[in-house]
Chains A and B, each alone.
Chain A
C-alpha cells in the first residue's frame, strides 16, 4: 500500500503568517508522530497521537504550535505567527498500535520562513 504522505513538499511563507502542514499516515496505522529537523540536526520529537488524541505533546516548542487529528487518520500541524527559527523540515511518521518501534516516515515538508 501507499506510504506516509506529506503535503506540501515545500512551503515558503513570510514571518508572522500562519501555516498548516498535512500528514496522511499509512492506512490502519493508529499512531502518528511529528518531528522537526533543523538544518544540520537530527529530527526532534514534537507530538504523538494515538487515534484522535494527543498522547504526548511534550515536544511542542511553544503555544504557536498546535496539531490535530480529528478523525484518527490525517493530521495537520498548525503554526501561528511563524518566525524565521521555525524554518526546518517537518517529518511525520506512523505506526501500528503498540508498535512504536516500527515507525514509517514520510518525505517531510520543508518550511522556509522569510
Chain B
C-alpha cells in the first residue's frame, strides 16, 4: 500500500516571500502521479500542480513549482512570491498510474501567509 507523509503540520510565511512544503511517499510502483492540492476554508480541493513520475523535469505552474526526487521519494512544493490568498491547507497526494484511480493523501500542511 502507498503512504504519503507530510511532516510539517503548520507553516507560515511573509507575503512576497518563498516557502517550501515537504512531502515524502512510499511505494513500490514505477509509474505514478504526484499532486499538490490546496484546500481553502471553503473545503473545495483545488489542484495546484501535478507531476508524472516518468518525467524527469520538475513541473511548474506560475508561482508554484515542485522538486521531485524519485529515488528519495520526495516531492516538495515551492511557492514563490507568496500571496495572502495562498493561505490554506495543502495536501500532497499519490495516484498509481493505470489500474487504480484513487488518490492517497497526506495529512496536510496548514500554510498561513502573513501581511
Contacts and interface: CB of A to CB of B under 8 A. Distances in A.
Contacts of A56: 100-102
B84 interface: no
Contact of A101 (B33, B46, B105, B108): B33
Interface residues of A, number: 26
B50 A105 contact: no
A100 B46 CA distance: 15
A45 interface: yes
Nearest to B6: A42
B107 A33 contact: no
B104 A40 contact: no
B103 A35 contact: yes
Given A45-B102, A48-B101, A100-B95, A107 B107 contact: no
19 contacts: A33-B102, A35-B103, A42-B91, A42-B93, A43-B45, A45-B102, A45-B103, A89-B43, A100-B95, A101-B33, A101-B95, A103-B47, A103-B103, A105-B44, A105-B45, A105-B46, A107-B42, A107-B43, A108-B43
Nearest to A95: B101
Given A33-B101, A42-B91, A43-B105, A101 B50 contact: yes
A71 B48 CA distance: 32
A94 to B, nearest CB: 11
Interface string B104-115: 111110000000
Contacts of B47: 102-103
A91 interface: yes
